[in-house]
Amino acid sequence: MLFLNAIIAYVGIISVHKLENTSKIILKESNKYNNLQNLKLNFTELLMPANDYLVHGNKVEILNFKKLDSITG
């Protein structure tokens, strides 16, 4: 009986350990994925002030660009 209980304990501990390790990797990859998505969006947003400046010539776009550039940088 002790042997059977030991099997349950062993399987439980090993599984939890394995799940913990893979969960850490998934969390790390998930953060990386999120950051890449943000970076992709920032690149697109970074073009917008210059494009809008060419459309209407409003000086406020210079400030918008500096703000976005500081975030991306």
Binding site for another protein (CB under 8 A): 1, 4-5, 7-8, 11-12, 14-15, 18-19, 22-23, 25-26, 29-30, 32-33, 36-37, 39-40, 43-44, 46-47, 49-51, 53-57, 61-62, 65, 69
Cα–Cα dist 55/61, whole Å: 11
Instruction: Give the nearer residue to another protein in terms of CB position, either 1 or 70.
Output: 1
| DSSP 8-state class, residue 59 | T
Minimum distance, C-beta of residue 11 to another protein, in the bound complex (Å) = 5
What the block records as the tokens of 6 is 């030991």
Q: Is 73 in a helix, a strand, or coil? A: coil
